[in-house]
Every structure is written in C-alpha cells, then in structure tokens.
Amino acid sequence: MQIDDIKISNEIKEKIVRLHIEPNYERTVVEAIELIKYFRRFGIAFETISKFFVGVGSVISFAAGIYKSKIMSFVSGTVSVVSLVFLQYSTFSIKESKKHTADLNIILKKLNLEGIPVTTQDYDHDNRAIASSNIKFKEEYEEPVYTERPPSPSFSPVENNGNGKNNFFGNILKFIFRN
C-alpha cells in the first residue's frame, strides 16, 4: 500500500481543522497582535530616549568646548553613541512591528477578514512624515501612471557668465531677486 492510496474521511478532516488548525490560527492572531503592540511601544520609547540623549550630548559637548574638559568631551561622545544605539533599537522595533502587521494581514486575508492598517510612519531625511498606506497585496497593486510635469524654472548657481568664469554669488542674487 502506498501513501497516495490512503483515504481520509471527512470526519477526520473536520476534526483536525476544528481541534488543531482553527485554534492555531486564533493563537497566531493573538500573538501577532501582542507582538505588534510590544514592538510599537518599544520603538516609540527608544526613539524618545534617543532624542533625549541627543539633547544631553549636545549640551555636554557645548560645555566641554567652553570649559576645555576632555572628560566632558568623552562623556558627550559616550552619550551620543548611546543615543545612536537607542535609535537603532527604535528602528528595529518599528520594522518588526510592520513585519508582524504584514504577517497578520496575510493570515487575516486567508480567513477572509479585513487587514489591520500600518499605523507607524516612516521619515525621510528632512524628518517629514511619509504616511504609510495599507498593505497592498500583489493582485491589488497597480502600476503608477506617470504624467509629464511642466518644466520648472531651473537654477544653476555655477552657470557660466560668458567670460569663462563662474559667477556663483551673482547667479544666486539674480535667482533671489528675479521679477
């Protein structure tokens, strides 16, 4: 007798689903929600602590320059490194929260339930918030439509003024005081 020849009754299949698979889904969803809350909380806490240490390190660094103290410079550097460590913990925690949210949304979609939106925000290099959108599944993704933008007034501060030399400050003044 081969493995492919074994037939399993519908009763056994239903019993397996009812007793093992469904409770596993419930446990997985509850654990994922707890992990999302845990990592989000720690991400916010670590980022807040990091910002605090940046301020403390800056004050100590300023004082070290005034008092010409090597010890204060060392303490300032140490506080700044601790700040970076907390910022890395924050980044890791927020990424983990997003990852668990995505995993949870996959499970919820398989159960024909609505997903949970990602509530954290990303920041670009200017520290402006970029709103996170709901997770889009592969079949929901649409290619972006690109349209031509009208040309914007160009500015080149090192534009050649015709005599072979660049007139950096003159070009900046022309740009600022243009009509």
Residue with tokens 């007139």: 167
- Taking the whole predicted model, whether its pTM rises above 0.75 is answered as no
Residue with tokens 């300032």: 76
Q: Please tell me the distance from the alpha carbon of residue 99 to that of residue 40, in angstroms, as a whole number.
A: 11
21, 29, 110 from 36: Cα distances, Å: 22, 11, 19
Q: Please tell me the distance from the alpha carbon of residue 80 to that of residue 87, in angstroms, as a whole number.
A: 10
- Does some domain include residue 179? no
Which residues form the domain of 101? 9-138
pLDDT tens, position by position, 18-57 = 888 888 888 999 999 999 999 999 999 999 999 999 999 9
- Does some domain include residue 34? yes
| Confidence band, pLDDT 50/70/90 cuts, at residue 146 | low
- Does some domain include residue 166? no
Model pLDDT, residue 93: 95
- Does some domain include residue 20? yes
| Confidence band, pLDDT 50/70/90 cuts, at residue 127 | very low
- Does some domain include residue 115? yes
- Top pLDDT among 49 and 2 is at 49
Q: How far apart are the first and last CA of the chain?
A: 91
Domain count, the chain: 1
- Does some domain include residue 160? no
Identify any residues that bridge with 130 across adjacent strands, giving them in sequence order. Answer: 122
Is the confidence at residue 12, as pLDDT, over 70?
Answer: yes
Tell me the average pLDDT across 103-128: 72
Transcribe 118-173 into DSSP letters: P---EE-TT--EEPPPPPPPGGG--PPPP-PPPPPPP--TT-B-SSSSB-HHHHHH
Model pLDDT, residue 58: 94
- Does some domain include residue 22? yes
- Does some domain include residue 48? yes
- Top pLDDT among 135 and 84 is at 84
